[in-house]
Structure 1
Amino acid sequence: MKVYIVVGALAVLASLVAPGLARTMDRCSLANEMSNLGVPRDQLARWTCIAERESSYRTHVVGPANTDGSHDHGIFQLNDRYWCQARGRRSSNLCGLSCDTVRTDDITNAVRCAQRVLSIQGWTAWSVWRFCSGDLPSIDPCF
């Protein structure tokens, strides 16, 4: 019975993601869009590493439940307990956004919120930071 519940829950979750709201980026497309949004170029390799590790560059991802019942959203996996407001959940909503807005093709809100996380908690806010803290491949070939 539990298998059906899990499969059913996944089917419902998949149905909530409209085809037009699901995009998988790549390292260079993300770097270029972030650069166009004013993100400093010296941060782009780190951001692309985080996005690759957190969401495989997918804008629409909702992560599995964390131990506190919260979920992580979008390309940078922003937590709905602190950073964005998910429907029916309590949140500090420090970015002042609906979690739906960080899971769209337009990554502007996700980028702005991720920058806020960085300004408050630093790079270590992301659990994947250990993979993204050393020397990374240059982002220059993307430009």
Structure 2
Amino acid sequence: MKFIIAIVLSVALINSASAKIYTKCEFARVMFDSGFTKESLPDWVCLAIHESALNSNVVGGPNTNGSFDWGIFQINDNYWCKVGYLGNDCNMDCNKLVDEDLTDDIACTKIIFARHGFTAWNAWKSKCQGSLAAYQVDECF
């Protein structure tokens, strides 16, 4: 297990050069430009703030099952991506989720959301559901 953690941390450090911490408005505009409605943006902003602090390079874990969560949306490698090769339901390498390009992250997030909605993310359930006043993005457009 320590070896796996060391590999994951090494990958995260290698990718840190291309990491980005987004502002709320930068993130909202990326999401809008990727096809998300303005009405849904407060949910996505809240989710990303509480999952990763809008940091594209975060790797969280290990979780109780030994899995890790990757990127700005904290996408789990037990279900959605695989480390070092294409795999799981998003058919992607988790390393693609820890850079400043959110294209891969958003593509996988759309798959997760289509299956589970926002309830796929514990941070959304505990921090965002029914409490979005602080995450409005009207000033971003």
TM-score (norm 2): 0.85
Name the residue aligned to 2:48: 51
Secondary structure of the corresponding residue to residue 63 of structure 2? coil
C-alpha displacement of 1:43: 1.1
Normalized per residue, the structure richer in helix is 2
Name the residue aligned to 2:69: 72
Secondary structure of the corresponding residue to residue 113 of structure 1? helix
Within 5 Å, give how 1:81-92 maps onto structure 2: 81-87=78-84
Q: Relative CO higher for 1 or 2, CA cutoff 8 Å, sep ≥ 6?
A: 2
C-alpha displacement of 1:16: 2.3
Query: Distance in 2 between the 1:70 and 1:11 partners?
Result: 13
C-alpha displacement of 1:11: 7.2
Query: Distance in 1 between the 2:27 and 2:50 partners?
Result: 13
The one-letter code matched in structure 2 to 1:49 is C
Name the residue aligned to 1:96: 91
Of residues 118, 129, 136, the one that matches 1:133 is: 129
Is 1:37 matched with 2:1? no
CA displacement 1:76-123 (0-9 Å, x = unmatched): 0000011111138xx6x1111111111111101101111211110121
Unaligned stretches of 5+ residues in structure 1: none
Name the residue aligned to 1:62: 59
The one-letter code matched in structure 1 to 2:56 is T
Of residues 112, 120, 134, the one that matches 1:117 is: 112
Greater shift in the superposed pair: 73-82 or 94-103: 94-103
Taking structure 1 as reference, are residues 31 and 80 closer, same or farther at Cα in structure 2, changes over 3 Å only? same
TM-score (norm 1): 0.84
Taking structure 1 as reference, are residues 99 and 135 closer, same or farther at Cα in structure 2, changes over 3 Å only? same
Unaligned stretches of 5+ residues in structure 2: none
Secondary structure of the corresponding residue to residue 60 of structure 1? coil
CA RMSD of aligned residues (A): 2.3
Secondary structure of the corresponding residue to residue 96 of structure 2? helix
Which aligned segments of 4 or more residues in structure 1 are displaced greater than 6 angstroms? none
Percent identity over the alignment? 36
C-alpha displacement of 1:18: 3.9
